[in-house]
Structure 1
Amino acid sequence: MRRTLTICTIFLFLTLMTACNVANEEAGEAVKYIISKTLEQPSSWHGSFIVRNEGGGSLIHTTYNGVHNDDGYRVAIDTQGMGFDSQADVKKEGDSLYVKLPNSANWQKTTSQDLKMLGLGFTYNPIEFVKFLQDFDVHISTTHAKNVYKILVQAKGEMPFTPTVAAITGTDQLLPLDVPEIYVEVNPENQTLRSLVMGVNYTGGISVSYEAQITKERGNNNAENSN
């Protein structure tokens, strides 16, 4: 009798594990498709990136407000740090970048390195961050919450903002304590991303919180032709 129960228990466990693996594999394919579809459609993006010290004080706080269309987008970036602040509008058209500084009416061609020197945090704005998730090695699984999925970044030291956090804190060897967990909510009606939330704890008591909200635009808001 005990042997029969043991065999049944093992069989049930293997069945559940197989079902979970299939569900997670299907979830991974679905979320990657949804990310790809989101990046193909006109949408508004709003996000925030906050780095905190061990005591919970804010070391840097960046907000993003942008409009995306196909491969082009425009985003207003506002970064507030300890003793400095930086604002600018950034526009991406294909592989080209343009920046418009405060009190300027003109767009100037720029590079990611130039924007980094301005302290804007352009390379991990929500649109670029979602592209990072699309291309990088991640594991995607379902959660108990409806339409919410969990993404684990496999190489935990490769987050795009880790070098910035290291520079802000003056730490040479800065690594996440755990594999970063990212939670994304999808809109089942139009199969696009609705929101993204992430928290990362680093060595030395440093933490990062990252949030983004995405709204599908009606009509054709062409960010590439924004003035």
Structure 2
Amino acid sequence: MIRTLVSSTIILVLFTACSIADKDASTVVKDTIEKTLDQPSVWHGSYIVKSERGSTLLHVKYDGEHDGDEYTMSIDTQGTGFGTLAEVKRENDEIYIKLPKSGNWQKTTAQDLKMLGLDFANSPIELAKSLRERDLTIQTTDRQNVYKILVKDEKKLPGTEKVVEVTGIEDVAPIDPAEIFVEVNPNNQTVRSLHMSVVYTDGSTLWYDVHLERSKGDEKDSN
């Protein structure tokens, strides 16, 4: 009886500790995303969609910097039989594009960028904004300053819409709940990196990888 009571007490304590840790993790990650979006940063990232056989269907690379809601980035998209490269910026709530061999910025829209094969919606800053607005489950991990985000609604998982578009399979869905790993820079409490790997029901896979650092001229990232 006593042994059972002690075991039950230990389990309850561990469960409570985990619950508190996850609650603290949720606060840390959400505050970190908010702070990252508020402060100037330089970032680069990429995501890759591969078929069931392992061939690359899409490879998108981003390099850019942002300050508040305004940012400039280059988008390099390489797909099956096509490639697109351009500079894109968001300024005063408007989106502009500058194509190769053109010295002029032209006003555009996210839909127009999509038609050009430039995946603006999944760029690192837009991804961070979408995570800030979603209902997420956030947990601690066994790695220091690394947290795990579970996306509850798999239909809203970042990148899934692009996987559907590339594979042509409308009912594709993640096999397991998607996990996004966020590394927090303890020196300035901003996002240092973000990683996601997802396997879909049709055998295709999605990899997303982002790295950020403070902008030059701002407080230096001492790592």
Amino acid at match of 1:119: G
Within 1, Cα distance between the matches of 2:187 and 2:161?
A: 37
SS of the residue 1:183 aligns to = strand
The number of residues matched between the two structures is 218
Q: TM-score, structure 1 length as denominator?
A: 0.94
Is 1:64 the counterpart of 2:62? The answer is: yes
Could you tell me how far 1:172 is from its partner in structure 2?
Answer: 1.7
**Distance apart, 1:156 and its partner CA:** 1.0
Contact 1:51–1:59 under 8 Å retained in 2: yes
Distance (whole Å) between structure 1 residues aligned to residue 25 and residue 162 of structure 2: 31
Distance between the aligned counterparts of 1:203 and 1:121, measured in 2? 23
Offset of 1:95 from its aligned partner? Answer: 2.1
Whole-angstrom CA distance in 2 between matches of 1:105 and 1:150: 42
CA RMSD of aligned residues (A): 0.9
Find 2:31's aligned residue among 17, 30, 33. 33
The 3-state SS of whatever aligns with 2:97 is: strand
Q: Which residue of 2 aligns with 1:12?
A: 10
- Give 4+ residue runs of structure 1 displaced > 6 Å after superposition: none
Give, in whole Å, the separation in 2 of the partners of 1:33 and 1:194: 14
2:130 is matched with which residue? 132
Runs of 5+ in structure 2 lacking a partner?
A: 219-223
Q: Tell me by how many angstroms 1:165 deviates.
A: 1.1
Checking the alignment, whether the CA contact within 8 Å between 1:156 and 1:178 is kept in structure 2 is no
Percentage of identical aligned residues? 49
TM-score, L = length of structure 2: 0.95
Could you tell me whether the CA contact under 8 Å between 2:159 and 2:206 is conserved in 1?
no
How many angstroms apart in 1 are the aligned matches of 2:163 and 2:25?
Answer: 31
- 2:212 corresponds to which letter in structure 1? I
* Residue among 126, 150, 154 paired with 1:152: 150
Q: Give a deviation string over 1:109-139, Cα, whole Å, max 9, x none.
A: 1111000001111100111111111111111
Task: Report how far residue 94 of structure 1 moved.
Answer: 3.8
Q: 1:167 & 1:24 partners in 2: Cα distance?
A: 35
AA aligned to 2:41 is S
